[in-house]
A and B are shown apart, each in its own frame.
Chain A
């Protein structure tokens, strides 16, 4: 680890900005809490009040409940827009607004408030969560139309939005953890929404358990913060980290990274994300592509005052990110299930974000930038996949697709926008965001940069493969499949997201997002990349083109069998098995864990119980022998008494006369 630390020159010397929110901003900022309150209220109405209603009101709730949920998301989105406008209206150095709602709890010297922090970072997240969230609400109206439990689905969606907003708006780590657990709960409920399917129930359980592993990291980090700083407020912690012990900060950083790994499906806690695709597609788009899984990136960017001073933790972030971005990409190459291929892609793209976040102040804005663009184009593609499933009778196997561009033109076109964005076609949003990350990585460390570059090539390959297998090549449909375009309620969100996929690269225009986030992430000290920026950009495009071409030759030029061939290379087999993520978990954690528990159980049964029961058996045996002395004859007892008296008298004599 130390050698790697020296390999990676860190952005030392950058001044880390303090978090010092202005709590007296007034005006529209006093309504900040409403952003969370709207979806929370929606969830309460749909989840608690609706089941208590009777008669026609209940029928109305079941039939029109989704409108309440959508309205709540829309209200939050509109308020976020107003807030964003108000924030822009303030001076560049006054854009941290705080709001103290109430004291959450107070014990001893520890006092935790329910405080909100609205700054440049939170503002972007608010727009992403409520904007994409609202679009997906609208989409779900169509997608879940025939589901008898649609009201409950929207309640969970609202609950998720409220929790996610709590996560990004909280002004302390404990509040963040509250939201963190809230999104975990919502994710669990939504992955297992079709709980009648055993695979969905198992996937929900798996996601929940693996997230708990990450949550242990966060709760330990919070405890450590209380122990070290006595508080978890961003403002106070950021003021104290400069003087804190570096090893403490390293431990804190590693613990936070563990939490981020769990939530963002990074190696080694990555395996739940692929299974999470059992949930309804809007859930995959909202939670497992656009918002929740990026919470780990948010956590690291938000904790920049810790990570900037914790080189070991930062290095760990970079390593984890690099491994994950290749890992996810390789899995994405081999999957035939369109949602799982996209999930592998998500894993890989979050790897890019984490990589940027691990680079320090120079990477934070690009991490957030890529997070936003990814949120748009990946949500777009997931929703597009949902639209495909809608038209193909819930078929997810790409080997049963093919030549769908004619049958579903709107879906095809919007999907193509997302495709071009993710592979980084020049001009599209992904081009700008990924380019910047690879460039920064190269400037930091050539090896990491090259690996990220390779990842971009693989991205080009698997996304092209997905496109070709789905929309081109010959028909391989099921016999009674009648693909048809989805209704407006589904296609309109697709179009909006496609537009955003194309255009959100504009956020980088004039270096806007970097300057916008600078008060939060700190001014970066730029290292000169080993090659000129333009050369790197061209290089990336060439590598992506190679990946696309490889896919063209390997997929489009050959026949695609309707069932997956079995005589394939080892790498393909491994990738189909999620690179043996579950097997590794089995061997590394579950096997030893089961053996340990078995051993402990045996030890407990044989050792502890043996001593206890052996003791009782010995006592019982001795008692059994001794009870023969209790023969019931009074005279026999009296004889013992006389013997005792004799001994006492002898003792007396021995003492007095001896």
Chain B
């Protein structure tokens, strides 16, 4: 089972680096989804490890929350794009010192 968890960790790290390096808000969002999926993989793997379906339920809830989050997140991105004509996360940097 360890290799599933290690794969999950690798995917999570890749998602992290993607969030940190990419500037296109949509791609950043995709990387967030990648991280969520990596977590789901760990959940499902541990469910099998322990012979318990609670892990799968958790993964299910993560999916629901991710769906809601994507809906709202993309709506926000669209609204920002509408006003600023840009989806670069670096452009929205006015809230500072």
Contacts and interface: CB of A to CB of B under 8 A. Distances in A.
Contacts of A633: 89-90, 93
Nearest to B95: A632
B93 A632 contact: yes
B44 interface: no
A642 B20 contact: yes
A634 B97 contact: no
Contacts of B90: 633, 635
Contacts of B71: none
A633 B20 CA distance: 10
Contacts of A54: none
B19 A627 contact: no
Contacts of A630: 96-97
Contacts of A655: none
Interface string A607-648: 000000000000000000001101111110011001000000
A633 B94 CA distance: 9
B13 to A, nearest CB: 9
A634 B94 contact: no
B89 A628 contact: no
Nearest to B21: A635
B23 interface: yes
B23 A635 contact: yes
A634 B92 contact: yes
Contacts of B89: 633-635
Contacts of B95: 632
A632 B88 CA distance: 13
Interface in B77-97: 89-90, 92-97
Nearest to A623: B97
Contacts of A632: 93-97
B23 A642 contact: no
A630 B94 CA distance: 10
Contact of B19 (A628, A631, A635): A635
A628 B93 contact: no
Interface in A38-89: none
B93 to A, nearest CB: 3
B19 A638 contact: yes
Contacts of A634: 89, 92-93
A638 B23 CA distance: 13
A633 B93 CA distance: 5
A627 B20 contact: no
A152 B97 CA distance: 68
Given A635-B20, A639-B20, A627 B93 contact: no
Nearest to A629: B97
A97 B94 CA distance: 88
A626 to B, nearest CB: 9
Interface string A140-159: 00000000000000000000
Q: Which of A631, A632, A634, A642 has the most CB of B within 10 A?
A: A634
A426 to B, nearest CB: 98
Interface in B32-71: none
A638 B93 CA distance: 14
B11 interface: no
Contacts of B97: 627-628, 630-632
Contacts of A639: 20
B30 interface: no
A229 B54 CA distance: 79
B20 A638 contact: yes
A642 B16 contact: yes
A303 B69 CA distance: 88
B20 A631 contact: no
Contacts of B16: 642
A630 B95 CA distance: 8
Contacts of A628: 97
A439 B85 CA distance: 112
Interface in A262-279: none
A627 B93 CA distance: 14
B29 to A, nearest CB: 12
B87 to A, nearest CB: 13
A604 B97 CA distance: 34
B17 to A, nearest CB: 9
A631 B20 CA distance: 15
The 8 closest A-B pairs by CB, nearest first: A632-B96, A632-B93, A627-B97, A630-B97, A630-B96, A633-B93, A634-B89, A639-B20
Interface of B: 16, 19-21, 23, 89-90, 92-97
26 contacts: A627-B97, A628-B97, A630-B96, A630-B97, A631-B93, A631-B96, A631-B97, A632-B93, A632-B94, A632-B95, A632-B96, A632-B97, A633-B89, A633-B93, A634-B89, A634-B92, A634-B93, A635-B19, A635-B21, A635-B23, A635-B89, A635-B90, A638-B19, A638-B20, A639-B20, A642-B20
Given A633-B89, A639-B20, 7 more contacts: A631-B96, A632-B94, A634-B92, A634-B93, A635-B20, A635-B90, A642-B20
